[in-house]
Amino acid sequence: MTGTLTQAPAAELTPDALLDAYRTMRTIRDFEERVHEEFATGDIPGFVHLYAGEEASATGVCSHLDLRDAIASTHRGHGHCIAKGVDVMGMMAEIFGKLTGSCRGKGGSMHIADLSKGMLGANGIVGGGPPLICGRALASKLKGDGGVAVAFFGDGASNQGTTLESLNLASIWNLPAIFVAENNGYAEATSSTWSVATDDIADRAAAFGMPGVIVDGFDFFAVHEAAGEAVARAREGGGPTLIEVKFTRYFGHFEGDQQLYRADEVRNARENLDCLKVFRARVTGSGQLTDDQLDQVDQEVATAIAASVVAAKAAPKPGADDLLTDVYVSYQ
Amino acid sequence: MARSITYREAINEAIAQEMARDERVIVMGEDNAGGAGSPGEDDAWGGVLGVTKGLYGKFPGRVLDTPISESAFVGAAVGAATGGLRPVVELMFIDFLGVCFDQIFNQAAKFRYMFGGKAVTPVVVRTMWGAGLRAAAQHSQSLLSVVTHIPGLKVVAPSNPYDAKGLLIQAIRDDDPVIFAEHKMLYDVSGDVPEESYAIPFGEANIVREGSNGHADVTIVAIGRMVNTALEAADELASSGIQVEIIDPRTTSPLDTDTILESVENTGRLVVVDESNPRCSLATDIAALAAQEVFGSLRAPIQQVTGPHTPVPFADSLEDLFIPDTTRVAAAVKTVVDHVG
A194 touches B: beta carbon within 8 Å: no
Are the Cβ atoms of B83 and A116 closer than 8 angstroms?
Answer: no
Question: Known catalytic residue: B139?
Answer: yes
Residues A313, A108: Cα–Cα separation, whole Å: 14
A110 to chain B: closest CA residue: B114
Q: Is the pLDDT of residue B161 over 50?
A: yes
What is the full DSSP assignment across A282-326? HHHHTTSS-HHHHHHHHHHHHHHHHHHHHHHHHSPPP-HHHHTSS
Can you give the pLDDT at residue A264? 82
Are the Cβ atoms of B79 and A165 closer than 8 angstroms?
Answer: no
* Residues shown for chain A: 332
The answer for A308, left when phi > 0, alpha when psi is -120 to 50, beta otherwise, is: alpha
Can you give the pLDDT at residue A332? 81
Give the gap in angstroms from C-alpha A83 to the nearest C-alpha of chain B: 18
* Substitution target from B99, B114, B170 for chain A, most A beta carbons within 10 A: B114
pLDDT > 70 fraction of chain B, expressed in percent and rounded: 100
Alpha helices in chain A (DSSP H): 15-41, 55-62, 78-83, 88-95, 129-143, 161-172, 192-195, 220-235, 265-268, 275-285, 291-314, 320-323
* ipTM value for the complex: 0.94
- pLDDT tens-digit profile of B197-229? 999 999 999 999 998 888 999 999 999 999 999
- pLDDT tens-digit profile of B54-110? 999 999 999 999 999 999 999 999 999 999 999 999 999 999 999 999 999 999 999
Strands (E) located in B33-185: 63-65, 86-93, 124-129, 154-156, 178-183
The reported pTM is: 0.96
Residues in A closer than 8 angstroms to B76, CB to CB, are: 131-132, 134-135, 138, 166, 169
Which of B62, B80, B154 shows the shortest C-beta gap to A136? B80
Give the gap in angstroms from C-alpha B253 to the nearest C-alpha of chain A: 9
Can you give the pLDDT at residue B214? 84
A318 touches B: beta carbon within 8 Å: no
Residues B192, B4: Cα–Cα separation, whole Å: 4
Alpha helices in A68-200 (DSSP H): 78-83, 88-95, 129-143, 161-172, 192-195
Which of A104, A149, A172 shows the shortest C-beta gap to B67? A172
Can you give the pLDDT at residue A1? 41
Instruction: For chain A, list residues with pLDDT below 70.
Output: 1-11
Domain locations in chain B?
A: 2-194, 206-338
* Residues shown for chain B: 341
Give the gap in angstroms from C-alpha B179 to the nearest C-alpha of chain A: 14
Count how many pairs of residues, chain A against chain B, have C-beta atoms within 8 Å. Answer: 163
Residues 67-96 of A with CB under 8 A from B: 70, 72
Residues in B closer than 8 angstroms to A116, CB to CB, are: 118
Residues in B closer than 8 angstroms to A95, CB to CB, are: none
Which of A103, A135, A149 shows the shortest C-beta gap to B78? A135
Q: Is the pLDDT of residue B28 over 90?
A: yes
Please give the single-letter amino acid code of residue A73: S
Residues in B closer than 8 angstroms to A165, CB to CB, are: 67, 69, 71-72
Would you say the CATH fold of B206-338 matches that of B2-194? yes
Are the Cβ atoms of A142 and B76 closer than 8 angstroms?
Answer: no
- Helix axis angle for A15-41 and A291-314, nearest 10°, is 40
Can you give the pLDDT at residue A5? 45
CATH topology assigned to domain A3-323: Rossmann fold (3.40.50)
Are the Cβ atoms of A106 and B114 closer than 8 angstroms?
Answer: yes
- pLDDT tens-digit profile of B272-324? 999 999 999 999 999 999 999 999 999 999 999 999 999 999 999 999 999 99
Can you give the pLDDT at residue A9? 52
The CATH number of the domain covering residues in B2-194: 3.40.50.970
Residues in A closer than 8 angstroms to B80, CB to CB, are: 135-136, 138-139
Domain locations in chain A?
A: 3-323
Mean pLDDT of chain B: 97
Residues A166, A150: Cα–Cα separation, whole Å: 12
B37 to chain A: closest CA residue: A172
Which of B102, B107, B254 shows the shortest C-beta gap to A332? B254
Residues 150-169 of A with CB under 8 A from B: 161-162, 165-166, 168-169
Give the gap in angstroms from C-alpha B289 to the nearest C-alpha of chain A: 17
Q: CATH says B206-338 is which class? A: alpha beta
pLDDT band at B124 (very low <50, low <70, confident <90, very high): very high
Can you give the pLDDT at residue A12? 78
Can you give the pLDDT at residue A10? 53
B71 to chain A: closest CA residue: A162
Q: Is the pLDDT of residue B252 over 60?
A: yes
What is the full DSSP assignment across B215-243? B-SEEEEE-TTHHHHHHHHHHHHHHTT--
Are the Cβ atoms of B113 and A106 closer than 8 angstroms?
Answer: yes
Q: Which of B139, B215, B309, B339 is catalytic?
A: B139
Mean per-residue pLDDT, B6-32: 98
Give the gap in angstroms from C-alpha A78 to the nearest C-alpha of chain B: 15
